Amino acid sequence: MADQLYFRQLLAGRDFAVGDPVATQMVNFAYLIGDRETGEAVLVDPAYAVRDLLDVLAADGMRLTGVLATHYHADHVGGELMGLALPGIAELLAVEPVPIHVQAEEAEWVRRATGVSATDLTTHGHDEVLDVGSVGIRLLHTPGHTPGSQCFLVGDRLVSGDTLFLEGCGRTDFPGGDAEAIFHSLQGLAGLPGDPVVCPGHQYSAEPSAPLSSVKQSNFVFRPRSTAEWHRMFGG
């Protein structure tokens, strides 16, 4: 699996969208996941400069077969951010008409944010598996930051979007946020078997990734053991 799995973590403003001040400030990660044997790959959260991301895939000899969206926010899938129009999945579909895989509860949010058609979106439930070649990506519904936030478990890596950072977690004061829901989502991630490497949606820490065991020890969001403790610490 390790040899077969194609996995790249790309930082906005450094690895793509170079020179874009918004991309540089937001420090988003995009991910490329695929099967080296078949050459099939998906993009996770393409925004800012989708052609740059497609160029990386092409240079690696991979071909795009789909997109995975962690959630609807513009810095992950395109749309309006503080009055700025960010490119994303709508621009990608214009050059690569591939399925956009979203969590079922996030579909309408993605459609409204990006302007894509409902027929462009492929919806999934919790714990479904998306096969990219022979590589299986487990789709985990982790609501809280948004209603349909999802994380992706592939091999020994957990792409955690804005649900879990190495330090902290996603905000819950945006539309669709739910403080209690994210507590339960974080507890679910903490209980995953093995020790996958957490690969977050932003580089809000010195390191770009870390083992889940390390994150559980150091990240303050894992200190509360009940919803009552959570609310006492974080409110909401």
Contact 191, 165 (CB under 8 A): no
Could you list the pLDDT tens digit for every one of the 236 residues in the chain?
568 999 999 999 999 999 999 999 999 999 999 999 999 999 999 999 999 999 999 999 999 999 999 999 999 999 999 889 999 999 999 999 999 999 999 999 999 999 999 999 999 999 999 999 999 999 999 999 999 999 999 999 999 999 999 999 999 999 999 999 999 999 999 999 999 999 999 999 999 999 999 999 999 999 999 999 998 887 75
Paired sense of beta strands 157-161 and 150-154, if any:
antiparallel
How many Å apart are CA 26 and CA 168, to the nearest integer? 16
Radius of gyration of the chain, Cα coordinates, nearest whole angstrom:
17
Q: Phi and psi at residue 146, in whole multiples of 5°?
A: -140, 165
Q: Phi and psi at residue 113, in whole multiples of 5°?
A: -70, -35
CATH code given to domain 5-230:
3.60.15.10
Count of alpha carbons within 13 angstroms of residue 193, beta-carbon side: 3
Parse the chain into domains and list their residue ranges: 5-230
Q: What is the pTM of this model?
A: 0.96
Encoding tokens for residue 209? 């990734």
Cβ neighbourhood burial of 100 (10 Å; 0-12, 13-18, 19+): buried
